[in-house]
Amino acid sequence: MEIVLLKDNEYDKWDEFVKEAINGTIYSESIWGKASKILDPDLNFKILTIQKEGTLFGGILLFEKNNKIVIPQFTPYTSVIYRKIDTSNNYKIISERRKVNELIALYLKRNYKKIVLKQNIEYIDIRDFQFNKFSASYSYTYFNNLDKYNIEIINRKTKREINNALEKNYEFELINNYNEIDVLLEPFFETMDKKVFSVDKKFKDKFINMVKLLKERTLFYILKSEEDILSTRIELIDNDKKIEDWIAGTTEKGRKERITSFFVHKILLDLKEKGYKDFDWNGANTPGVTDFKRNFGGELKPYSTLEFYKNKYYEALYKSAKIILKK
C-alpha cells in the first residue's frame, strides 16, 4: 500500500468511494471541503488516500490551517474512511483497516505540528493511532433507527408536548426554494447569537453561501405560526439510507411555546416516510441537549477524538490555555 494525494480531477472517484464505505458520510466528501472553506477562507483541504495498484483501500479528508490538522466549524466527524469488504475473513478486514490507520498516522506525524481527528461511530478502532502516540478521548451521539420510530417510543413528557402542539395551528414545511434563505435561517442565527458566539453580517453571508452550495444534499425544514418562522432545522443526506442532523435554531417565541419536540417528531416521521433508515444526531455531549435527544428513543453510541502534538511544550501550553479560557 502507498499514500496518494488526490488531484482535483480525482475527487469524483473519492466521493463515490465515500458513499460506499462502511463509515462514509457527507463530512468526508469533497463538497464538505469546499463548503467548509466558504465559512473559513483560511482553511485548506486535501484528500489523502491509501492505494495499491490503483485500488482505494481507505483515506481521509484533511483540513489544514497554520500547519495544523483541524476540525472545521459545524463538522462532527473528520474520519478515516475504509472500503467495504464483502468477505467472512474478519482477520483480513481488521488487518487492512489497521494498515490504513498506520500509514495515515505516520504521514500526519511527519507533516503537522498539531493534529485533531474525530472518528465516525461506524468504526472506532483507534489502536494504531494510540501506538503512534495519539491521545484519545470519547464522546457520544444518539442514533435512531427510523424504521422503528413512532410516538410510542417517546417518553411521556415529550409525548405531551407533541400532543399539545398538534392542537395548535403550526405549519410544517420542507423548503425547496432558497430565495429567502436569509429569512429562513434567522431562528438559527438567533440561537447561535444567544448561546454560542456573536453572529455578524459577515458570518451570516458566508454561512448562507455554505448552505447554498450544499443545497442538493440538504433537507431544509421550517415550522411556522401564522407568518412567524419559529424554528429552522437542516438535515444532511449521506445517501438514500442515512441522514445527518446538522444545524437547528428556535426563536424566543418558539422556545416559549415549547415547539421543538413537535418539530423534531414531524421531521423524523417525514424522513421515515421518505424511506431513510438511519438518523445520526451528531453529538450528545451537552447537558440539556443530551436529555432532549434521549427523549426520542435513540441508541447512545461512542466516537473517538484523536490528538497529536509534535512539540510537548506546545501541547502543555495549548491545554493550559484551554483550561484557563473555560474558567
Is residue 313 scored above 60 in pLDDT? no
Report yes or no on 9 lying in a domain. Answer: yes
**With bands split at pLDDT 50, 70 and 90, how would you rate the model's confidence at 271?**
very high
Residues 26 and 95 in one domain: yes
**With bands split at pLDDT 50, 70 and 90, how would you rate the model's confidence at 195?**
confident
Is residue 325 scored above 60 in pLDDT? no
Contact present, 126 and 304 (Cβ < 8 Å): yes
Domain holding 99: CATH number? Answer: 3.40.630.30
For residues 6-32, average pLDDT = 96
Q: Tell me, what's the pLDDT at 323? A: 55
Give every CB contact of residue 301 below 8 A, 6+ residues apart in sequence: 121, 140, 141, 142, 143
Contact present, 169 and 225 (Cβ < 8 Å): yes
Report yes or no on 145 lying in a domain. Answer: no
Residues 290 and 307 in one domain: no
d(CA 223, CA 174): 9
Residues 54 and 174 in one domain: no
**With bands split at pLDDT 50, 70 and 90, how would you rate the model's confidence at 318?**
low
Report yes or no on 113 lying in a domain. Answer: yes
Instruction: Give the tens place of pLDDT for each residue, 198-230.
Output: 899 999 999 999 999 999 999 999 999 988 999
Q: Tell me, what's the pLDDT at 321? A: 55
Give every CB contact of residue 224 below 8 A, 6+ residues apart in sequence: 170, 171, 173, 230
Instruction: Give the tens place of pLDDT for each residue, 78-129.
Output: 999 999 876 666 667 778 899 999 999 999 999 999 999 999 998 888 899 9
pLDDT-above-90 percentage for the chain: 80
What letter represents residue 57's amino acid?
A: F
Our count of domains for the chain comes to 2
Cα–Cα–Cα angle for 39, 209, 194, rounded to 5 degrees: 65
pLDDT-above-70 percentage for the chain: 93
Contact present, 84 and 91 (Cβ < 8 Å): no
Report yes or no on 94 lying in a domain. Answer: yes
Report yes or no on 223 lying in a domain. Answer: yes
What is the three-class DSSP state of 203? helix
Domain of 247 in residue numbering reads as: 150-296
Residues 169 and 290 in one domain: yes
| Centroid of chain to Cα 246 | 6
Give every CB contact of residue 143 below 8 A, 6+ residues apart in sequence: 121, 278, 279, 280, 281, 298, 299, 300, 301
Report yes or no on 178 lying in a domain. Answer: yes
Report yes or no on 20 lying in a domain. Answer: yes
